[in-house]
Every structure is written in C-alpha cells, then in structure tokens.
Amino acid sequence: MSLTHAIPKTKETDYTEDDYYRIPEKFRAELIDGQIYYQAAPSRIHQKILSFLHALIYNYIKGKGGSCEVYPAPFAVKLFNDKKTIVEPDLSIICDLDKLTDKGCSGAPDWVIEIISQSNPGNDYVRKLNLYADAGVREYWIVDPYGKIVSVYNLASGTFRAVEYSFEDEIKVMIFEDLSITFVEFAKNSQG
C-alpha cells in the first residue's frame, strides 16, 4: 500500500486515531491535534543513544524488581481521550501498568525521553514539551546528540524551565530515587 492510500484524501485537517492506525507500519508518523506528521528514519547516533538509554533504564528497573516498563519507539502513546493525538516518544517509561494496552499506552507516561533530530529540533522543545506537560508527564528529557546536552524538565513541579546538563554531567532521574545517568561511557564508546 502506498503512502497516499494510507490516509483518506477527503480529510484535509482533522485526522483521528482511526486514520493513524491505518498508516502502514513501514511508515513512522505521529498524530498531533488532528494532524499527521511523518518522521524520517533516525540517524545512527540517534539509534545508538536510544539503545544505550533503553538498555540502561531497562536493566535498572529489572535489577530493582520494579514494576515500571520502558518502551522504545515506535510505541504509540495516546496522550488524551480526544482521539486526535498519538505520539511515538523515543523512550516511554510507564509505571502505571493499567495504562498499557495492546496498541501501546493510553495516558501519560511517567518519563519521556526524546532525542532530537537536526531537521526539526523545535518539535521536541516546543510542541512536544507543551503536549507532555498538558498530558501529565512527570519528567521529560530532550537529548541533543550534536550539542551533547540533555535538557531535563520536571513537569510534575509545573515548571517549563529546563535544567541543562552536558554529556559529562551526572543527571539524577526524578522519578526514581537512586538512578543517575551519565553519558561519559557512551561518549567514549561512540567515537567515529
């Protein structure tokens, strides 16, 4: 099925989750406020950071016998009940397992991590920041692999001001008492 046949042409501006779930799996897309946004394939550095963080967080939760679950993209997160917004965060950490469905997550994850792409950094810093805050995400990280900066938002506190860390800093995870993450080992092993 071609991309043009994935979504009905009669709808110019108001798509719903039914339209989203008709998009063939080979295409990555998000539904935000009734609009479909297609995503390019991620870069190699994006995937390396995603793999690094997924393994680290998964192993932490498993090692602690925790009940939270971590899902890498593509993983559908229906933030609201309006049927007009489904996003695919790079990493979704969900501690309320009642939110998990066969299709993904229905409701706000506790912690979301996005790894920016050079082509559209504003999407993560503006549009998604507002969506995640409105939906009730408690903690939001934006990882910039090009500037080697991690912007951390404590959305549970109601602030939209990020604390910025370099890849060399130790970053305390707010939703877990004893987890801190540093990108030093990642950076050493990712030369070239």
Q: Convert the pLDDT of each residue in 38-95 to its tens digit.
A: 988 899 999 999 999 999 999 999 999 999 999 999 999 999 998 899 999 999 999 9
C-alpha to C-alpha distance for 68 and 87, rounded to whole angstroms: 20
Tell me what the mean pLDDT of segment 134-144 comes to: 97
C-alpha to C-alpha distance for 100 and 51, rounded to whole angstroms: 22
pLDDT band at 171 (very low <50, low <70, confident <90, very high): very high
Q: Please give the model's pTM, rounded to 2 decimal places.
A: 0.90
Torsion of CA 88, 154, 183, 190, to 10 degrees: 30
Give which of 93, 159, 87 is closest to 124, Cα–Cα.
87
How confident is the model over 2-33, as pLDDT tens digits? 343 444 444 566 899 999 999 998 899 999 99
Q: Residue-wise over 12-41: b if at least 16 C-beta within 10 A, else e?
A: eeebebebbeebeeeeebbbbeeebeebee
Q: Residue 139, SS3?
A: strand
How confident is the model over 98-130, as pLDDT tens digits? 999 999 999 999 999 999 987 777 788 889 999
C-alpha to C-alpha distance for 153 and 163, rounded to whole angstroms: 7
- Please, is 69 exposed, middle or buried when counting C-beta atoms within 10 Å of its C-beta (0-12, 13-18, 19+)? middle
Tell me what the mean pLDDT of segment 157-164 comes to: 89
Q: What are phi and psi of 121, to 5 degrees?
A: -65, -30
pLDDT at 192 exceeding the cut of 60: no
Report the greatest alpha carbon distance in the chain: 51
In angstroms, the first-to-last Cα distance of the chain is: 38
